[in-house]
Structure 1
Amino acid sequence: MSASPDMRSRITDNIVYFARTLRKAGVPVGPASVVDAVTAVEVSGIENREDLYWTLHAVFVRKHEHRLLFDEAFRIYWQSRGLIEKMLAVLSPVAPPRGEPEKPKAGQTRVSQAFEAAKERVAEETVPEIEVDAKFTVSGKELLQKKDFAQMTADEIAVAIKALRSMSLAMDNIRLRRLTPSARGRIDPRRTLRASMRAGGDIIDLKFRKPAEKRPPVVALCDISGSMSQYSRLLLHFLHGLTAERRNVHTFLFGTRLTNVTRQLRMKDPDEALEACSEDVEDWSGGTRIASALHDFNLHWSRRVLSGQPTVLLITDGLERDTDEDLDREMDRLHRSCRRLVWLNPLLRFDGFEAKAKGIRAMLPHVDEFRAAHSLNAVADLVEALSGTGRSPAANPRNWL
């Protein structure tokens, strides 16, 4: 059944406004994609809600991280207004009944705000009102510093990303056994005799040497399971900035398997780097197997990246499926292979947090520091602590057992 010109215009308008909603939520949707979406809907002839979902999904979703936002935007925009049933009435002979509403999902806050913003169409041809946005003033910035990453809107996430990229990590240098020339320190007999021979042997100019120093490597093991996806995505921006600042940074992502994304994070453009990470990781927002991932790291990567007394950042909530002795053994091996093992756990944002999960209790005895990683303040405290200037002490892992 062909749609009338008036109905086709309405369908086009609704797809355009739906695309604006996606754009407000953070999904890059251009005019060409909107035209393709309208054409695809008209050509395919939708018969049910699922057909419309996957038709628009095929056009608008091009990155793995945009699937969640698209799913929530589709649920709010089309189902709340009952537009699919009206389109089905024209594009198909019989319109199926509406199903029961789904439960709220993750990302609902960002998409809901984008939906409300899209409803305010360009009707500002009247006298504009002067509004004062105090969102990111001094008090607004203080609130943003403490706000949980999972509760941030799209605009707040953009500000948080810039802040995370700008954080620098000036870690204390470690002393090496190798000696290097110095103005003072130990006497260097070889250089002293060499200088004396050059001067004819009459004048002895003492030369000195001291232990060489270098910045220790940083190794990050980041959990990308469903419960950690939002936090890991933002912390990857911090790790990208850290990789650009100092080259001896190695980053691994794990869910049900371990993936080395160090080379991807060395790309200069942050968006290109994170897109490359998303393309190479197949288990994003899936399950988690911490013991298996740590076993893979200890077996294949520890000797390559854990030389030079590195600091290891373990970013996970510790909610492990397989809680047997393997996790305890792999954590012990990792701890003994590095100079400092810091566990960043977003669950510490809760005041009443208790280490009741078996996976958490198996991991705690093998970490040096236990810190939160859910806000800008938490990441700033981590940077200060690793730089040796931290004022807020880390939670003692033994206190939770």
Structure 2
Amino acid sequence: MMRPESLPRATTPFLGFARLLRSHAFAIAPEQVSGFMQAVTLLGPRSMNDIREAALATLAPPPDRRDEFEAHFRSHFYGDAAALVEGDADEEARIKDDGKTSKQEIEVVRQEQGGELASASEQLNVREFQRDRDGLAAFRRKLATALPARRSFRTVRTHARGKLDLRRSLREIVSADGDIPSPLLRRRQTVPRKLLILIDVSGSMKHYTSDYLKLAHAAVQGADRAEVFTFGTRLTRITSALRIRDRDQALARAAAQVDDWDGGTRMGPTLLAFLSVPRFSAFARGAAIVILSDALERGDHAELEMAMRRLLARAFRLSLATPLAGDPRFQPATAALRAILPMLDDLVDGSSIAGLTDFILSLARPAPVAAAIWKRVS
């Protein structure tokens, strides 16, 4: 692909439109951008409608974001700022990555949703963690071997119960001048599944987020393929910060990265924002996903239901740990919980570190699905 500075000046609006869509979490490959400009060249273009049709055909916005795509097109090519007024009036779910693109924020326009006891208004704060010690060392040591496992496509040598490694066996026969040595065997390697932890840092969860972050640090230290995100009014990846071995330093780094401590909550939109970034949604594929949240959504919970359905399609096991379940009288009776209950493999007590560590260490063992356990929910 040609470098931007070597392209004609006339291509600037088209490249700018692709960058605009990417900044709003549309998944667009470089080949699609090249195809877009080639389509415009073939069409003339004779009118702005030709450019619009070329963009639709080559950039391929998902059907559920077609209206947002049209609004960005009118804003970029027509200068119609009013096209985005409705979206700008809503709160935004922002994505913050702590990796190589830690300074990049991908804004995803979503309708504000929240819990009956939670607020959807954004409030940016910082958090300081007290220096204390707990019993997470044993959890960290056991985690790597306790996680669910899967068979990898890679193979390793074995002396028994494997398949014949024909290529290497023939090589041994040739090197031994035709003698038939013991056949060489290989078997598919077994590797732990990914662990994805999503932590609610909204105001309704502020009494638990400190313990959850300590648990997440132990998980990242104990498992090679653990990923941790926080969500409230924004989505933040904090895995790199939690890879620091010293827990106090790791939590201090994470506290500096997360901007929306103890603020509002928009669980559905932030989970959809997570799924809208291909690199992030890949973390969920085949993973054991543990969401630490009270799952209180306010008003229409359609976005939360959609996000949970998409997570379920990618995950090996989808679990929700809510501190509300620590109350013996707890019932998943809210409209949001009733809607997502059939999609959950587990709905467990998230009010204590001890209970959460025991649960995560048991993820490899089969258990009845959440809907079967909470049958009393009408």
Same fold per TM (> 0.5)?
A: yes
Determine which of 141, 154, 175 is the counterpart of 1:178: 154
Q: Does 1:377 align with 2:351?
A: no
Q: 1:285 Cα deviation (Å)?
A: 0.5
Aligned mates of 1:66, 1:210 — CA distance in 2: 48
Q: Does 1:304 align with 2:273?
A: no
Aligned mates of 2:257, 2:198 — CA distance in 1: 16
Aligned mates of 2:351, 2:270 — CA distance in 1: 23
* Residue aligning to 1:65: 127
Q: Which amino acid in 2 is paired with 1:335?
A: L
* Residue aligning to 2:21: none
Q: 1:322 Cα deviation (Å)?
A: 4.7
Aligned mates of 1:296, 1:335 — CA distance in 2: 16
- 1:255–1:283 contact (8 Å) kept in structure 2: yes
Determine which of 287, 294, 317 is the counterpart of 1:340: 317
* Residue aligning to 2:177: 200
CA RMSD of aligned residues (A): 2.3
CA separation of 1:227 and 1:394: change in aligned 2, threshold 3 A:
farther
Q: Which amino acid in 2 is paired with 1:270?
A: R
Aligned mates of 1:180, 1:247 — CA distance in 2: 19
* Residue aligning to 2:4: none
Aligned mates of 1:162, 1:369 — CA distance in 2: 26
Q: 1:395 Cα deviation (Å)?
A: 7.0
- 1:180–1:209 contact (8 Å) kept in structure 2: yes
Aligned mates of 1:235, 1:268 — CA distance in 2: 17
Determine which of 148, 171, 193 is the counterpart of 1:216: 193
Q: 1:178 Cα deviation (Å)?
A: 3.1
Aligned mates of 1:394, 1:278 — CA distance in 2: 36
* Residue aligning to 1:24: none
* Residue aligning to 1:112: none
- 2:150–2:191 contact (8 Å) kept in structure 1: yes
Name the SS for the 1:162 alignment partner: coil
Looking at CA atoms only, which structure, 1 or 2, has the larger radius of gyration? Answer: 1
Q: Does 1:349 align with 2:326?
A: yes
- 2:267–2:297 contact (8 Å) kept in structure 1: yes
* Residue aligning to 2:371: 397
Q: Does 1:167 align with 2:139?
A: yes
CA separation of 1:351 and 1:221: change in aligned 2, threshold 3 A:
same
- 2:149–2:364 contact (8 Å) kept in structure 1: no
Aligned mates of 1:281, 1:330 — CA distance in 2: 22
Aligned mates of 1:268, 1:178 — CA distance in 2: 30
Greater relative contact order (CA < 8 Å, ≥ 6 in sequence): 2
Name the SS for the 1:167 alignment partner: helix
- 1:372–1:378 contact (8 Å) kept in structure 2: yes
Residues 2-401 of structure 1 aligned to structure 2 (within 5 Å) = 64-65=126-127, 158=132, 161-168=133-140, 169=143, 170-184=146-160, 185-300=162-277, 301-307=279-285, 309-388=286-365, 396-398=370-372, 399=375, 400-401=377-378
* Residue aligning to 2:3: none
Using the size of structure 2 for normalisation, the TM-score is 0.60
- 2:126–2:259 contact (8 Å) kept in structure 1: no
Q: 1:343 Cα deviation (Å)?
A: 1.0
Q: Which amino acid in 1 is paired with 2:284?
A: L
CA separation of 1:272 and 1:66: change in aligned 2, threshold 3 A:
closer
Uncovered stretches (5+) of structure 2, i.e. residues with no partner: 1-124
CA separation of 1:167 and 1:194: change in aligned 2, threshold 3 A:
same
Q: Which amino acid in 1 is paired with 2:153?
A: R
* Residue aligning to 2:86: none
Bigger share in helix: 1
Aligned residues: 245
Q: Which amino acid in 1 is paired with 2:343?
A: H
Q: Where do 4+ consecutive residues of structure 1 move more than 6 Å?
A: none
Bigger share in strand: 2
CA separation of 1:316 and 1:226: change in aligned 2, threshold 3 A:
same
Using the size of structure 1 for normalisation, the TM-score is 0.57
Q: Which amino acid in 1 is paired with 2:247?
A: P
Uncovered stretches (5+) of structure 1, i.e. residues with no partner: 1-62, 68-153
CA separation of 1:351 and 1:362: change in aligned 2, threshold 3 A:
same
